[in-house]
Structure 1
Amino acid sequence: MPDQLRSDFLGCYGAGFARTPHIDALAARGTLYDRCLSPAPICVPARASLLTGTTSLENGILNNGAWLRPDRRECGLHSWPELLSEAGYRTYAVGKMHFYPWDASEGFQVRSISEDKRQIGILDDYAQFLASRGKHKQHAREFAGYHENGGACLSPLKPDEQVDLWCADRAISILEQHDGSQPFAMMIGFPSPHCPYDPPPEIADLFDPADMPPPLPETRESEALRPWLIANMKNPWADIDYSVFTDDQKAKVRAHYSALIHIVDKAVGRVIATLERMGLHKNTIVVFSSDHGDFVGDYSLVCKNFFMDPSIRVPMIVAGPGVPFEIRYDTVALSDLYPTFLELAGVSPRENCSFTSLLRPPREEPRTICGATHRGFMIEKGRKKLARYVGGVVTLHDMEADPGEQLNLADDPGWHFTRQELDAFLTEWQVQESIKGHSEKAIVYSAESKPELGNEPGILGPGWRRPYPFSSETTRS
């Protein structure tokens, strides 16, 4: 799971300029899902949703400044590594997970940690590795080209010191030490190609900015959203001003982004080669996806947060024994991986899980996918996408006729009924998920005595004690 990787910068998704042979080979021997959406396109919300199989409204994580409740297990909310560990799996996490605190296990039995490239103060395992080389984490403003190239800069680290290859090497070391008598589940969180766009010079030189596809033009709606992003990127964590974002800067950013993806591809290749060398590929499912995308200059934006495709459309590749070699064109969601992992391990997800296993055949009816962040809400059904943003911007796009989202149909009279239908679906979803998000506060109303719920002599009698937090796994009357 690389960080902030949009699908259309991979060769297997049609990027002729990409250098991703190992990821492309993985796609060629498995199932490639053409349209996978990350409905909460921000690092922590996307990861919290994937970890627990809940939407961002249900789990309450709408931005990077929040995390799951410490007593979530008492509320009946279990992570997939917890459930797989209980089912007899050895569970490993390598690289970036973006948990709070950063060294929390969240169900993984073994962690080797390298957190976000922006969180330079975290003394994780990768920081210790750099210290052993006489080096340390640095803010990208210290790197050559950072401000003048719109965030595209050159890392002073040697290629073998680069964080994604370190993650691959740590994963390989764990695999080599794994006891083969026990099944394993491993998640590798590569910190790239998340900004800063900082490949080492020898990798950056492989990509010519002139070869990059031109960015999508600004729209009236993106211009209305852009001031928030400019203000956000001026904060100390990024310390960069995108008030002016030139074509040359955009091309440079896209080239450096591609260079980081090339490094991720090398890392993926190393891990897959190890699986093959150890014979583990014969009974191992490999999944490649990402938490969200990156605008890298589209609409004069960078990073994510908004619901246009460069931000929410991510790769989804599944390969391994029993997986068909095909391209699927039905729309799926990133957190569909939660029930997928459980199904592969023979574990049943809870009844009200919001997502669907990727192992199930495509639905006959178009999939409805909704999402929420601190910037707004979105819904896509049948390739018609509606988004409502903080501040009042509303967009409606026909993703088949207008994949670049240049023509906003929200106020088009001919699309009134489509907007009305999508609005109704989205409102219903918001209400349902908000109720689920407060299920731990539920009161089981019954005039009868229910000792197993702790309400003897009954909710109507004196002295009744309310069970809190209420768990969805508790027997209901």
Structure 2
Amino acid sequence: MAQTTASRQPNILILMVDQLNGTLFPDGPADFLHAPHLKALAARSFRFAQNYTASPLCAPGRASFMTGQLPRRTRVYDNAAEFASDIPTFAHHLRRAGYRTALSGKMHFVGPDQLHGFEERLTTDIYPADFGWTPDYRRPNERIDWWYHNLGSVTGAGVAETSNQMEYDDEVAFFATQKLHQLARDSDDPERRPWLLTVSFTHPHDPYVARRQFFDLYQGIRELDPQVAAIPYDEMDPHSQRLYKANDAAQFDISADDVRRSRQAYFGNISYLDDKIGGLLATLAATRMQDDTIVVFASDHGDMLGERGLWFKMSFFEGSARVPLMIAVPGRPGGRIDAPVSNLDVAPTLGDLAGVAMDEIAPWTDGESLVPLIEGGSRSAPVAMEYAAEGSAAPLVALREGRYKFVHCELDPPQLFDLESDPNELSNLAGMAEHAQRVETFMTQIAARWDMAAFDAEVRASQARRHVVYPALRNGAYFPWDFQPLQKASERYMRNHMDLNVLEEEKRFPRGE
């Protein structure tokens, strides 16, 4: 367990970003990235170089991140599946252990519960909380044009002074900074509770639009070109073909300049985030809480960024499924850890670092604490992933074990990749005689872990229920589930029921200097 200078439970600051490709974080940010604050954080963090999402899509990936449970267990299969209130999250575990818990930013909760263990939420979400984005396995070849991704994000990439997403992340950072100041002012109270603050940005998620100051940092660099050229449609694996159709790719003529401009804006938005995160870390230091605070940097899923001709996420290829994870623990020097791990491991790890008994968390998680790895131990359990959302027609599952990744779907031929010799996943070994035994071993593990027919039936039943409920709720009087941040204006700043002298002293940090 972490020790802090005050010998109290550590505070925890989670910095979460959206759609950040983990291959760009082989050991902290890649050298070409202009990310000085993230590089400084990496230097004092445990850096998990081969960390994976539990599901490469926003809502299921985030529900799994918070609970440590795979989507089949949370039933958050897609971006419009309800996240049930009775599923414990790390916010519940830590709040039960005495923590103050707060969220600023995106977590893509679907359903009437918009807190899931957080005592307070400082902003609304950027995405809707209802069932409107529900896929439909009954119509596998029908594209839902009004909400599915399309490649207009690529052809429209470039520079803007502001955007919907910039406006949101500017607000997320502002309220998170304000909250850190509030927490610092409360820290003199000897009875104060330790805190968990999750700050969750929506960048570098598409659309690929960046402010000029960040876009120009990457002018002309060689990383603007993908390592793997676009693969012709008839040479793609079946799931990539489904994603090609889901993204309406045939309707767009993507040029090399479109690709470079999109990647340049994406890299620029990493620098934009670095600037925001740098401000938060500076506030943490200025308010004298750095030495008592664990800092976690994470993402929900990655982005293919034009590799193989694919964009966004929704697949188990490395660009989509591999995500950064860095954990800075006061009093520990950090270091690189190469064992494959998962976002499923974050919830039990936070509990472990906070001193929560593991037997209280273990029944509610499919992951395992990373503290043994941090302390020099080893890990042998494979990393599991699931996907059952847009662009799929039946659930897909994957296992990462050692140097190999195995992907299974009842509709498709199996895929086996040796990530050490073939990091770009260009050679599917599943059909080769010399790997037949390995494929058989993986299939045995798949069968032991998943009942694929039951999984498929559960997803279809969930979709069918939501296709009944959603249009009903939109007919007539409509009460949205979107989180509505409430502020009591009469308790803010300066009001006549407050003692002015007491107020000014309490709101100053540090006091009396």
Corresponding position of 2:81: 66
> 5 Å matches for 1:119-268?
147=152, 149-157=154-162, 162-178=167-183, 179-180=186-187, 181-215=192-226, 216-219=228-231, 222=236, 224-234=238-248, 243-268=252-277
What number of residue pairs does the alignment pair up? Answer: 404
Corresponding position of 1:305: 314
Identity of aligned residues (%): 27
**Bigger CA drift: 11-20 or 60-69?**
11-20
- Post-superposition CA distance 1:248-290 (Å, at most 9, x none): 2211111110011111111110110001001100110000010
1:403 is paired with a residue whose SS is coil
In 1, Cα distance between equivalents of 2:370 and 2:417: 26
In 2, Cα distance between equivalents of 1:189 and 1:293: 15
Counterpart among 121, 125, 129 of residue 115 in structure 1: 125
1:303 Cα deviation (Å)?
A: 0.7
- Kindly tell me: are residues 149 and 398 of structure 1, through their superposed partners in 2, closer, same or farther at Cα, counting changes over 3 Å? closer
The reply to whether residue 357 of structure 1 matches residue 357 of structure 2 is no
Q: Which amino acid aligns with 1:248?
A: D
Uncovered stretches (5+) of structure 1, i.e. residues with no partner: 122-138, 141-145, 235-239, 439-477
1:231 Cα deviation (Å)?
A: 3.4
> 5 Å matches for 1:55-94?
55-70=70-85, 72=86, 77-94=87-104
The reply to whether residue 399 of structure 1 matches residue 414 of structure 2 is no
2:103 is paired with a residue whose SS is strand
The reply to whether residue 421 of structure 1 matches residue 421 of structure 2 is no
1:83 Cα deviation (Å)?
A: 2.1
CA contact (8 A) 2:405 2:419 kept: yes
Corresponding position of 1:320: 329
Corresponding position of 2:428: 408
- Kindly tell me: are residues 197 and 56 of structure 1, through their superposed partners in 2, closer, same or farther at Cα, counting changes over 3 Å? same
CA contact (8 A) 1:96 1:191 kept: yes
In 2, Cα distance between equivalents of 1:433 and 1:287: 37
CA contact (8 A) 2:47 2:325 kept: yes
In 1, Cα distance between equivalents of 2:20 and 2:416: 24
In 1, Cα distance between equivalents of 2:267 and 2:238: 28
In 2, Cα distance between equivalents of 1:12 and 1:250: 25
1:170 is paired with a residue whose SS is helix
CA contact (8 A) 1:39 1:378 kept: no
- Post-superposition CA distance 1:5-45 (Å, at most 9, x none): 01233585462321111111101012111110113111111
1:351 Cα deviation (Å)?
A: 3.4
1:248 is paired with a residue whose SS is helix
- Kindly tell me: are residues 158 and 54 of structure 1, through their superposed partners in 2, closer, same or farther at Cα, counting changes over 3 Å? closer
Give the number of the structure with larger relative contact order, counting CA–CA contacts within 8 Å between residues 6 or more apart: 2
1:228 Cα deviation (Å)?
A: 2.5
In 1, Cα distance between equivalents of 2:70 and 2:406: 18
> 5 Å matches for 1:435-454?
none
- Kindly tell me: are residues 231 and 248 of structure 1, through their superposed partners in 2, closer, same or farther at Cα, counting changes over 3 Å? same
In 2, Cα distance between equivalents of 1:166 and 1:360: 37
In 2, Cα distance between equivalents of 1:189 and 1:148: 22
Q: Which amino acid aligns with 1:252?
A: R
- State the TM-score, normalizing by the size of structure 2: 0.72
> 5 Å matches for 1:249-288?
249-288=258-297
Q: Which amino acid aligns with 1:339?
A: P
In 2, Cα distance between equivalents of 1:16 and 1:102: 43
In 2, Cα distance between equivalents of 1:431 and 1:421: 16
Uncovered stretches (5+) of structure 2, i.e. residues with no partner: 1-15, 131-145, 459-513
In 1, Cα distance between equivalents of 2:33 and 2:406: 31
- Post-superposition CA distance 1:390-430 (Å, at most 9, x none): 64142110011100001111101111011111111122111
The reply to whether residue 50 of structure 1 matches residue 65 of structure 2 is yes
- Post-superposition CA distance 1:408-462 (Å, at most 9, x none): 1110111101111111112211149979x99xxxxxxxxxxxxxxxxxxxxxxxx
